[in-house]
Amino acid sequence: MALPRDLPVVDHHCHLSPSGEGIAAARRFRDSGGTHLFLATQNYREEPPRSLATYAEQYATTEELAHRVTEETGVVVYPIVAPYPIDLVHVARDLGLEGAVQLQFDALDLAGRWVREHRAVALGEVGLPHFEVPAEVRDATDRVFDRALGIARESDCPAVVHCADLDRAGYADLAARADRAGLPRRRVVKHYARNRLPAAERSDVTPSYLARRELVREVLADAGPWFLETDFLDDPKRPGAVLDLATVPRRAQALATTPEGAECLRVPFVRSVEQVYGLRLEVLPGGRP
């Protein structure tokens, strides 16, 4: 059974780079049946940005890649922009801790403006280090993360979160932060979720699951909202990492062998996008081979 012609196939979180496969990877996604990508910005240089101008250049590169992918492949791309939270840890050595915090604040303000100008659909990746850092650095990243959630609320958009793997308490902490910021919990998206917790243990935070075969089958019956992602890095030094960009459409093709499987896919590809982003996705004519 083929994928329904009206069903979008969405990779919720990936990266593309001008120095990587770029458009070629997007063509592979399309040729496997994919229709929509959520493209998260990243550092396109070896060193993290140390000025707001460099962040502006980074966001513009992501936007240009998004436009090129759509023009050259027909895949619809939604940019997600923000300063990567780990940048603070590295640039604090040069700018000082408060200087690094201020740069993150400024880059978050810029990202929020891009969302309000409809140049991006979410703030991301924002969040916390996934490794141990000194207490003063952790305090600084906490302040930046809380500021990011506040800007997401002001910009009426989701916040896509980078952090360590979460248990029940971790999801509850994200939910409490969202409540303090006034951001609906479902609009806090835990990117790179590698394990499934029952919905009651996720405190209404939205997981974006890494599209590994066993995990996809495990989460398929969940009511949502939830997403599937590859976190494709487009790094020539790590080909195919984290998962290849063709993975989500291939998983969808395998699951759509029954009407029930195809219907379950409407949760991550249609209903969750509407609930979290307020977007209605359509498959454009010729958008799927």
pLDDT at 132: 87
Residue 44's pLDDT band (cuts 50, 70, 90): very high
What Å distances lie between residue 156 and 11, 122, 181, CA to CA? 22, 9, 12
Average pLDDT over residues 247-261: 91
Position 225 in a domain: yes
Is a pLDDT exceeding 90 seen at residue 287? no
Q: How many CB atoms lie within 10 A of CB 209?
A: 23
186 has a pLDDT exceeding 80: yes
Span of 113-122, 181-190, 212-221 with lowest mean pLDDT: 212-221
179 domain-assigned: yes
Is the pLDDT score of 74 beyond 80?
A: yes
Share of the chain above pLDDT 90, in %: 89
pLDDT at 259: 82
pLDDT of residue 46: 85
Band the pLDDT of 258: cuts 50, 70, 90: confident
pLDDT at 2: 77
Each residue's pLDDT tens digit, 216-237 = 999 998 999 999 999 999 998 8
Residue 47: its pLDDT value, please? 92
pLDDT band at 286 (very low <50, low <70, confident <90, very high): low
Does residue 288 belong to any structural domain of this protein? no
The verdict on residue 3 lying in a domain is no
Give the strand order in the sheet containing 206-210.
Answer: 10-14, 36-40, 76-81, 122-127, 159-162, 188-193, 206-210, 227-229
Task: Rounding to the nearest 10 degrees, give the CA dihedral for residues 244, 164, 200, 256.
Answer: 0
- Residue 108 is part of a domain; what is its CATH number? 3.20.20.140
Can you tell me the distance from the alpha carbon of 32 to that of 28, in angstroms, rounded to the nearest whole number? 6
82-91, 254-263, 272-281: which has the minimum mean pLDDT? 254-263
Residues 6+ apart with CB under 8 A from 246: 28, 29, 31, 32, 34
> Are the CB atoms for 9 and 252 separated by under 8 Å?
yes
Residue 220 lies in a domain: yes
**Is residue 197 included in any domain, yes or no?**
yes
Is the pLDDT at 130 greater than 90, yes or no? no
Q: How far apart are CA 185 and CA 40, in angstroms?
A: 20
Reported as type and span, the H/E element at residue 88 is: helix 87-95
The tokens of 162 are what? 């980078």
Q: To the nearest whole number, what is the mean pLDDT of the chain?
A: 95
**pLDDT above 70 for 169:** yes
282 domain-assigned: no
Strands 76-81 and 122-127: parallel
pTM: 0.96
Portion of the chain with pLDDT greater than 70, in percent = 98
Q: Is residue 75 part of a domain?
A: yes
What's the pLDDT band for 268 if we cut at 50, 70, 90? very high
User: Which pLDDT band holds residue 257 (cuts at 50, 70, 90)?
Assistant: confident
Q: Which two tokens stand for residue 179?
A: 């409540």
- Name the residue range of residue 166's domain: 10-239+265-277
As for how many domains the chain has, the answer is 1
- Provide the pLDDT confidence category of residue 282 given band limits of 50, 70 and 90: confident
- Specify the pLDDT at position 162: 98
